[in-house]
Amino acid sequence: MGLLVYQIPLLSQKASQSPDQTMMSCLEWRHIGPFRGGRSCAVTGVPGKPNLFYFGSTGGGVWKTLNGGRSWENISDGYFGGSIGSITIAPSDHNVIYVGGGEKTVRGNVSYGYGLWKTEDAGKSWTSCGLTTSRHIPRVRVHPTDPNIVYAGVLGDLFKDSQERGVYKSTDGGKTWKKVLYVNPSSGIVDLCIDPTNHRILYATSWNVRRTPYSLSSGGEGSAIWKSMDSGETWTNISSAEGLPKGTWGIAGIAVAYHNNQILYAIIENENGGVYRSENGGKSWTKVNEDRALRQRAWYYSRIYTDTKDDNTLYVLNVDYHKSTDGGKTFKGLDTPHGDHHDLWVAPENPARMIIGDDGGAQVTNDGGETWTTYHNQPTSQFYRVVTDNHFPYRIYVAQQDNSTLRIAHRTTGSAITDDDWEETAGGESAHIAVDPLNNDIVYGGSYDGFLTRVNHKTGSTRGINVWPDNPMGHGAEGSKYRFQWNFPIFFSKHNPKKLYAASNHLHVTEDEGHTWTLVSPDLTRNEKEKLGPSGGPITKDNTSVEYYATIFAANESPITEGLIWVGSDDGRINLTRDGGKSWVDITSPIMPKYLMINSVEPSKYDPSMLYSRYDV
């Protein structure tokens, strides 16, 4: 979300003392931006309403515009928020909107939602419609003439097997649900559509997907295309139809032509994947395109849409969005204000009017994509973390997903804070940021793959100071000399302002602004080899370092005792040094019984705070 500032009085050193409640009651949050969007994978417009659109944010609920995207307002605050996976308007009653929680974009920082929500007054009020433990609902479809008949495609829990997957149907507006399609505990529904000319016919795609902290798997038993001829009551697996690829399937997207329901399009992740077209309702298929640009990083995209006027015009979303006017034989890659596209809505009455969702939020076009509205009017940024410096007025530093790092003074001289008040700083989208304690205009920032920069805001200079001169992009963690987390820690010593620490699976320190680095620890992780291989598969590898595992995830030095540094790894180890890294002790869970025995403390009387006093934090 955009940044909110809330100042509190300084506390005394007594940990038990609370802020003065009278002073606290006078404080209010204020929004300081930036007004640029974060990821969106759920968008929709309203037929016949050229200026009315909605989008769902992956961290900030549902947003609405009444002026064609020139400004947006949140309409879900106070009812629900968090990650939005789908949003659908009832075609027969535009006041009825269904929203499914949980994004389909299964990144390392993927976030789930809280079931299905419904409004009957265009977002003024909302009610929960159940499916509260479904985690991810990538598609919701509403019957064209009855707003109470609803279909929900549930992907389910991405991290474990789950029974709550499949297509769910409600005939009473979401009060009750019937599971009408269930594939297996590892495969949920990722795409779902209703035939525009025969509302009894539906299509769905199921996807076997699993994410762990150290791996991503897209594909396996249960990934398929399904068809129903009886309003979703029963389903047939049509994945073995003539012309469709054999072997392991991953994610797939499906679309029906708007006027001729015999024409279907699918984009399929497979060794022989690409765009497929059927001209007989799915009985047989022809592969019409295998361009890698349409299916790179398939798990993150793989959406396909048909035009609402021309059945030979279709769209495929990926890093760019792609348009074909010859039934998928050729595509032209097109740009929007931001990349990484996840959802598209095309107006039935005018296909030149569209809204698209991407890693920058949502943008609207009225000229078929020649021009788009800005995403610099949506305070839905996703920040990895926030830090401040000692400047006056103090400045705030953030790192925004799929964007840049930024800094801004917490107050400015202008009447309002705008994007003009923000400036880029060190590091990249996933940065830890550390401000030089001796010079607030020198900033250090990290990014994925161990990337580390030093920026001098006075001189405008930027210098790369990577701990190790290597870019492991495209390679698994097993081949790296040092394994850096996607957002690896960097921090200055609380006692020696010349010491800057950076963490891989080791702890490193520099005292000359990154010109040289010294190794000050052994490998402080479990270093389990089976969790260090290349990620992705079984079809498509995806080695961007998101899944680099057995890395240091958190580290800091005691503000009281110099050289006392705590380090925590993402695979569950906690290590401690009391001499600045000369020696280390593993204080993961086995330290507890040992500590109790040494100090003759009965376990029933154990106070966790005793551990902290023992190590002088």
Could you report the per-residue pLDDT of 537-574, keeping only the tens digit for each? 999 999 988 999 999 999 999 999 999 999 999 999 99
- pLDDT tens profile 438-495: 999 999 999 999 999 999 999 999 999 999 998 888 888 888 999 999 999 999 999 9
- 218 plus 326 within the same structural domain: yes
Contact 567, 554 (CB under 8 A): yes
- 410 plus 356 within the same structural domain: no
Q: Is residue 17 part of a domain?
A: no
Q: Is residue 73 part of a domain?
A: yes
Q: Is residue 356 part of a domain?
A: yes
β-pair type (166-170, 150-154): antiparallel
Domain end, chosen from 365, 395, 427, is at 365
Which of the four pLDDT bands, split at 50, 70 and 90, describes residue 94? very high
- 398 plus 295 within the same structural domain: no
Q: Is residue 219 part of a domain?
A: yes
- 389 plus 359 within the same structural domain: no
Distance (Å, whole) CA 68 – CA 373 = 8
- 415 plus 272 within the same structural domain: no
Domain membership of residue 70 as a residue range: 36-365
Share of the chain above pLDDT 70, in %: 93
Q: Is residue 2 part of a domain?
A: no
pLDDT at 8 over 70: no
Query: What pLDDT does residue 18 have?
Result: 67
- 245 plus 139 within the same structural domain: yes
Distance (Å, whole) CA 320 – CA 335 = 6
pLDDT at 536 over 60: yes
Between these two residues, 397 and 615, which has the higher pLDDT value?
397
Distance (Å, whole) CA 291 – CA 315 = 14
Domain end, chosen from 365, 394, 417, is at 365
Domain end, chosen from 313, 331, 365, is at 365
- pLDDT tens profile 198-210: 999 999 999 999 9
Q: Is residue 163 part of a domain?
A: yes
Share of the chain above pLDDT 90, in %: 83
- Please give the structure tokens belonging to residue 210: 């699993």
Sign (positive/negative) of CA torsion 277, 279, 285, 288? negative
Distance (Å, whole) CA 129 – CA 131 = 7
Query: What pLDDT does residue 609 have?
Result: 42
- pLDDT tens profile 16-47: 456 678 888 888 888 888 888 999 999 999 99
- 71 plus 170 within the same structural domain: yes
Which of the four pLDDT bands, split at 50, 70 and 90, describes residue 108? confident
Q: Is 224 left (phi over 0), alpha (psi -120 to 50) or beta?
A: beta
Q: Within a 10 A sphere around the Cβ of 614, how many other Cβ atoms? A: 13
- 412 plus 296 within the same structural domain: no
Select from 370, 223, 577, 447 the least CA-distant residue to 455. Answer: 447
Q: Is 156 left (phi over 0), alpha (psi -120 to 50) or beta?
A: left
Residue 478, phi then psi, degrees to nearest 5: -65, -20
Q: Is residue 29 part of a domain?
A: no
- 102 plus 200 within the same structural domain: yes
Which of the four pLDDT bands, split at 50, 70 and 90, describes residue 412? confident
- 159 plus 255 within the same structural domain: yes
Select from 6, 36, 31, 34 the least CA-distant residue to 408. Answer: 34
The count of domains in the chain is: 2
Burial annotation 201-213 (CB, 10 A radius, 16+ → b, else e): bbbbbbbbbbbeb
Contact 362, 53 (CB under 8 A): yes
Q: Is residue 440 part of a domain?
A: yes
β-pair type (49-57, 395-400): unpaired
Distance (Å, whole) CA 501 – CA 486 = 16
- 265 plus 294 within the same structural domain: yes
User: Read out DSSP for 519-550?
Assistant: E-SS--S---GGGSS--B-BS-B--SSTT--S
- 361 plus 411 within the same structural domain: no
User: Region 419-434: what's the mean pLDDT?
Assistant: 93
The CATH number covering residue 344 comes to: 2.130.10.10
